[in-house]
C-alpha cells in the first residue's frame, strides 16, 4: 500500500481504540520508524502527541522557547512566538509556571503551542483538542486553517466526529491493521482525490462522447440570456473514464473534465484515442504552488 500526503490538505485518521491511529501518526511525525516499508521526502514536521510529557524541568515559556530553538528559530524569535502562542491560548498568565504544576488543560495548550510556533509544513495532531476549553479549541481550529492556507498539511485524529466536520480533504480508517478510506476505497484513491486537480477542455465530433459511445446526446443548447456554460452534473458513464472526471458541457459543446492530477495523463490518452478522437483545447493545472521545503510522504 502507498500513501501520499499532498500539500494544502487536511487529512483525518479514524479507527477504534487500539486500532493503530497513534502508531500511524508517530510514523508521520518521525517519532517511530516502520519495521517494513519506508517513508521518504519528509517535510518540516511538528507533532502534538496524545500524551504530553509534563514532568520536564521547564516553565511553560522556557519549554516553548527551548522547543522553538529545537525547531531552528533563534532565541529571541523563539521567545517571541512562545509568548504570542501562550497569549493566543489565554495562558499568558502561566508563562512562568513549571510544567509539572500546570493544569491538564493548560499543559495541553503548551503541547499544542510547541507544534504551532514552528509553522510546520506537516502538522500532526493526535487528539490535540482533548482537555482544551472551548475558546482554546477554537484557537486550534483557526490555527489548523492557517497552516493549510499557508500551503501546509494537517493530519489529525480525534474521536469526536464533529471535530473539523466536513473540512477534511481525505478520511482514512484503520481496521484490522489495514488503512482504508472511509468511503471503502483504497488509501491511494483518497490521496488522489485530496491532491491537485486538472481541468481538461475538450471538443468531440458532433454527437460523440468518449464516455458514452457514438450515440451520445448532443450538447444541450440554451437561450442566449443563459450563462455561456452551465453545469450538467456528472454525465452518465463519465465515471468509467480514468479518474472519474466531473464533467460540465458548455453551450458550444466544449466539455470541461476535472480530475485529480494523477489521472490527467490517462484521461488525455482516453480522449485522444477515442474513435473518433477528441480535440483537446486546453489543459489547466490550477493552483499549483510548489514549495521547495515540501515533499510528499509516499
Ligand atoms: N501496524 C502496527 N504494527 C505494530 N504494532 C501496532 C500497529 N498498530 C498498532 N500497534 C500497537 O497497538 C497498540 C495500540 O496502538 P495505538 O496506540 O496506535 O492505537 P490507537 O488507535 O491510537 O488507540 P486509541 O484510540 O486508544 O488512542 C500499540 O501498542 C501499538 O504499538
Lowest mean pLDDT of 141-145, 209-213, 231-235, 247-251, name the range.
Answer: 231-235
CA 72 to chain centre: 25
The pick from 22, 39, 50, 180 for probing ligand 1's pocket by mutation, whose C-beta has the most ligand atoms within 8 angstroms, reads 22
pLDDT band at 232 (very low <50, low <70, confident <90, very high): very low
Q: Which residues line ligand 1 (CB under 6 A)?
A: 15, 17-23, 50, 177
CA 109 to centroid of ligand 1, rounded, Å: 25
CA 23 to centroid of ligand 1, rounded, Å: 5
What is the position in ligand 1's atom list of the atom closest to the CA of 20? 18
Q: What is the pTM of this model?
A: 0.67
Distance between CA atoms of 181 and 1, rounded to whole angstroms? 12
% of the chain exceeding 90 in pLDDT = 44
Residues 37-77 have pLDDT tens digits of 888 888 999 999 998 877 789 999 999 999 999 999 999 99
Cell readout for 219 is 450538447
pLDDT at 37 (0 to 100): 86
What is the position in ligand 1's atom list of the atom closest to the CA of 50? 27
- Average predicted confidence (pLDDT) for the chain: 80
Report domain extents, the chain: 9-193, 196-284
pLDDT at 186 (0 to 100): 52
% of the chain exceeding 70 in pLDDT = 78
Residues 83-108 have pLDDT tens digits of 999 999 999 999 999 999 999 999 99
Please check the confidence at residue 143 and state whether its pLDDT lies above 60: yes
Please check the confidence at residue 239 and state whether its pLDDT lies above 60: no
Atom 9, ligand 1: residue with shortest CA distance: 20
What is the position in ligand 1's atom list of the atom closest to the CA of 159? 25
Atom 31, ligand 1: residue with shortest CA distance: 23
Distance between CA atoms of 82 and 114, rounded to whole angstroms? 8
pLDDT band at 259 (very low <50, low <70, confident <90, very high): confident
Distance between CA atoms of 150 and 62, rounded to whole angstroms? 27
91-115 in b/e form (b: 16+ CB < 10 A) is beebbebbbeebeeebbbbbbbbbb
What is the position in ligand 1's atom list of the atom closest to the CA of 157? 22
pLDDT at 291 (0 to 100): 42
Please check the confidence at residue 147 and state whether its pLDDT lies above 70: yes
**C-alpha atoms less than 13 angstroms from C-alpha of 76 in its C-beta half-sphere:** 0
- The complex's ipTM works out to 0.94
Nearest to 159 by CA among 194, 115, 203, 129: 129
Cell readout for 19 is 486500532
What would the CATH number be for the domain defined by 9-193? 3.40.50.300
pLDDT at 145 (0 to 100): 93
Average pLDDT over residues 128-137: 96
Amino acid at each position: 500500500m502507498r500513501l501520499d500526503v499532498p500539500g494544502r490538505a487536511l487529512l483525518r485518521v479514524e479507527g477504534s481504540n487500539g486500532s493503530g491511529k497513534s502508531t500511524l501518526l508517530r510514523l508521520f511525525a518521525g517519532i517511530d520508524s516502520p519495521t517494513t516499508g519506508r517513508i521518504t521526502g519528509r517535510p518540516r514536521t511538528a507533532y502534538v502527541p496524545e500524551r504530553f510529557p509534563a514532568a520536564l524541568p521547564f516553565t511553560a515559556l522556557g519549554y516553548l522557547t527551548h522547543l522553538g530553538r529545537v525547531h531552528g528559530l533563534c532565541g529571541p524569535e523563539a521567545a517571541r512566538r512562545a509568548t504570542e502562542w501562550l497569549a493566543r491560548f489565554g495562558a499568558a498568565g502561566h508563562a512562568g509556571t513549571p510544567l509539572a504544576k500546570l493544569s491538564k488543560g493548560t499543559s495541553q495548550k503548551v503541547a499544542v503551542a510547541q507544534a504551532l510556533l514552528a509553522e510546520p509544513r506537516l502538522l500532526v495532531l493526535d487528539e490535540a483538542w482533548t482537555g482544551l476549553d472551548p475558546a482554546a479549541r477554537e484557537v486550534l481550529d483557526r490555527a489548523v486553517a492557517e497552516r493549510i492556507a499557508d500551503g501546509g498539511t494537517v493530519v489529525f485524529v480525534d474521536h469526536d466526529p464533529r471535530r473539523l466536520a466536513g473540512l477534511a480533504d481525505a478520511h482514512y480508517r484503520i481496521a484490522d491493521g489495514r488503512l482504508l478510506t472511509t468511503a471503502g476505497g483504497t488509501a491511494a484513491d483518497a490521496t488522489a482525490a485530496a491532491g491537485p486537480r486538472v481541468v481538461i477542455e475538450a471538443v468531440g465530433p458532433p454527437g460523440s462522447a468518449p464516455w458514452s459511445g457514438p450515440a451520445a446526446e448532443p450538447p444541450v443548447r440554451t437561450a442566449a440570456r443563459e450563462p455561456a456554460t452551465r453545469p450538467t452534473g456528472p454525465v452518465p458513464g463519465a465515471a468509467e473514464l480514468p479518474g472519474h472526471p466531473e464533467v460540465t458541457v458548455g453551450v458550444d459543446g466544449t466539455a470541461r473534465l476535472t480530475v485529480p492530477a494523477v489521472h490527467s495523463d490517462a484521461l488525455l490518452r482516453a480522449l485522444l484515442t477515442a474513435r473518433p478522437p477528441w480535440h483537446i483545447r486546453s489543459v489547466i493545472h490550477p493552483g499549483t504552488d510548489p514549495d521547495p521545503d515540501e515533499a510528499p510522504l509516499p
